[in-house]
Amino acid sequence: MKNTFRISKPLFDRLHKHLFPGDGDEHGAVIIAGISETKQETRFLARELILARDGIDYVPGQFGYRALSSDFVARVAQQCARENTCYFAVHCHGGSDSVRFSTTDIRSHKRGYPALLDITHGGPVGGLVFATNAVAGEIWSPEGVSNLDSMTVVGLNSRRLYPSPPRHTSKVAEAFNRQSLMFGSVGQQELKEAKIGIIGLGGVGSLVNEYANRLGVGNVVAIDFDHMEQTNRPRVVGARRRDCIVWFRDSRSKFLRNLGRRLAAKKVRVAERIALEANSEVQFEAISGDITFPENALKLKDADFLFLCADSMQSRLVFNALVHQYLIPGVQIGSKVPVDNQTGDLGNVFSASRFVLPYRRGGCLLCNELIPAARLQDEAVSDTERERQQYVPDAHVEAPSVITLNALGASQATNDFLFHFLGMFDEENAKPGYLLHYPRERVWRPIDCRADRECLHCGTKSNSSLARGDRSSLPCKP
């Protein structure tokens, strides 16, 4: 069982500036966190940072150099109890790449954390100690005491901190030798340990699946409820004629046509076949189901990155909630081919790759009006909801879809994952946000993202689901 911590870059930058202002002294704070638990990992999710004021909240200690004041601890612990969140005391030590608690620190934990567990109704609670490029942690729960393995800072670039520099001894498989020349054996090993979620395995999702597995991503969870059909063959990577049961689907017999629909291959099984052909070592979990059901959505809560390749409003809502509630960066991909129903004239075609980071102004789909309430309501009451994953407003008009347009968004999105996860973005010049490609004009256009403090996903108010993890419900179907 691993213990990890996730914190957004804006929160981390604020904390780091407070702990290391350049005076070489010790400073303190508290992180209020949510929690996400699986059989393999417990993740703590930084929700709120409360800085301790020197001389007021962070004072000379009775047993050590300095400590958080009792009033400050009680106030924040009571807030955690009210909000059902986790309490983490934070302070800093000297040094750069390695850090550990002092004997005095450990003794203070033993004196104070049992009481904090009671106050917070079982927490967990804990402490974090930082050096400039390292972090160590101790976690107390009703089940016992354990240590923190790592912290991930989620920003345009992902950054991982450890108690001391990890050792990397793995050799690069020969198949990945050429690409590892770009990001090294360490980067290739990190890709092997990465876990991604792909929502929708149609035209866009099948391309993302192909790209990610050829990069060497080690763990993939793929979710789609649909079966293959003849119109998928030009767009779905790896689609075969027999996947679509063409000889039944083209029959004059209604019975045989319906039988063909039921016997056609599921899109996730086609994706699994392609994934294993690209990377025989991948751990591929194929889920034939709908992302809007909680048992499927929660399969993604421990992912490192999410790709939304379905375009219903309900799938957008669940994706956006997962990004913010579990601090998992992601990207929404799609294309739009507007065609005038009367004249057949082609409108302004574009492909979209919308990078979403889990903090304010990070690209929240709700804040940017990409999940209209009216369309959500329409999908919720419609019997043909699943057929509405399209890109034109008329539900009775089949939406145009072309593999080359899908490829534009899919390749940009997969590059965003690659450069984000391995920390390769040029942060001085690269900007987060959305990218739209207009092929008729041969141009990419960046779109600045808006933010709403009242947002229920990324907002800073107490009623938002930001970083609550398991202690809030996803907006799924009952």
Q: Specify the CATH number for the domain of residue 193.
A: 3.40.50.720
Q: Over the stretch 77-113, which tens digit does the pLDDT of each residue have?
A: 999 999 999 999 999 999 999 999 999 999 999 999 9
Query: Of the candidates 106, 134, 161, which is a domain's last residue?
Result: 161
**Is there a cis peptide before residue 124, judged by omega within 30 degrees of 0?**
yes
Same domain, 124 and 185: no
Token readout for 424 is 């390769």
Q: Cβ contacts of residue 272 below 8 Å, gap of 6+?
A: 222, 284, 286
- What are the CA-CA distances from residue 264 to residues 230, 291, 421 (Å)? 10, 21, 36
Identify the helix (H) or strand (E) that includes residue 444.
strand 443-447
Count: domains in the chain: 2
The helix/strand/coil state of 87 is strand
For residue 137, the cross-strand partners are 128
Note whether residue 140 is domain-resident: yes
Q: What digits encode the pLDDT tens for the residues 350-370?
A: 999 999 999 999 999 999 999
Rounded CA separation 308/328 (Å): 12
Report the pLDDT averaged over residues 199-210: 96
Pair 148, 208 in one domain: no
- Does one domain contain both 394 and 276? yes
Written as one string, the DSSP assignment of 283-338 is EEEEEES-TTSHHHHGGGTT-SEEEE----HHHHHHHHHHHHHTT--EEEEEEE--
Same domain, 305 and 181: yes
Q: Which residues of 107-138 are buried (b: 16+ CB within 10 A; e: fewer)?
A: ebbeebbeebbebbeebbbbbbbbbeebbbbb
pLDDT (mean) for 111-133? 96
Domain coverage including residue 192: 176-226+266-447
397 pLDDT band, cuts 50/70/90, is very low
Burial of 214 (0-12, 13-18, 19+ CB in 10 A): middle
Q: What is the pLDDT of residues 214-273, one digit of tens each?
A: 999 999 999 999 988 888 888 899 888 888 776 565 667 776 666 767 778 899 999 999
* CA distances from residue 319 to 137, 401, 435, 475 in whole angstroms, order as listed: 30, 22, 18, 10
Nearest to 190 by CA among 150, 163, 223: 150
For the chain, give me the number of helices (H) and strands (E)? 12, 19
| Whole-number average pLDDT of the chain | 91
Q: Are 245 and 180 in contact (CB under 8 A)?
A: no
Has residue 471 been placed in a domain?
no
Work out the pLDDT band at 291, boundaries 50, 70, 90: very high
Q: What does the alpha-carbon distance between residue 251 and residue 355 come to, in Å, rounded to a whole number?
A: 43
* 3-class SS of residue 343: coil
The pLDDT value recorded for residue 248 is 64
| Same domain flag for 15 and 152 | yes
Tens digits of residue pLDDT in 147-185: 999 999 999 999 999 999 998 777 888 889 899 999 999
Share of the chain above pLDDT 70, in %: 93
Q: 221 and 336, same structural domain?
A: yes
Q: 172-180: long-range contacts at Cβ-Cβ below 8 A with a sequence spacing of 24 or more?
A: 173/216, 173/281, 175/216, 175/279, 176/216, 179/215, 179/216
CATH code (residue 132): 3.40.140.10
Whether residues 157 and 182 fall in one domain: no
Please tell me whether residues 190 and 79 are part of one structural domain: no
List the alpha helices (DSSP H) in 22-154. 70-83, 103-119
pTM score: 0.93
The answer to whether residue 468 is domain-embedded is no
The answer to whether residue 460 is domain-embedded is no
**453/331 Cα distance (integer angstroms):** 22
Residue 368, C-beta contacts closer than 8 angstroms, at least 6 positions apart: 434, 449, 450
Whether 301 is in a domain gets the answer yes
**Within a domain: 96:** yes
Tell whether 274 and 341 lie within a shared domain. yes
Quote the pLDDT of residue 247: 58
Q: Which residues contact 387 (CB under 8 A, 6 or more apart)?
A: 395
Residue 440 has, within 13 A of its CA and on its CB side, a CA count of 8
Answer yes or no: do 138 and 218 share one domain.
Answer: no
Q: What is the pLDDT of residues 293-328, one digit of tens each?
A: 999 999 999 999 999 999 899 999 999 999 999 999
pLDDT band at residue 340 under the 50/70/90 scheme = confident
d(CA 281, CA 279): 5
213 with 151, same domain: the answer is: no
Contact 440, 431 (CB under 8 A): no
Are residues 143 and 207 located together in one domain of the fold?
Answer: no
Please check whether residue 246 lies inside any domain of the structure: no
Does a structural domain hold residue 56? yes
Q: Residue 434, SS3?
A: strand
Q: How many CB atoms lie within 10 A of CB 205?
A: 27
Please report, as a single letter, which amino acid is at residue 145: V
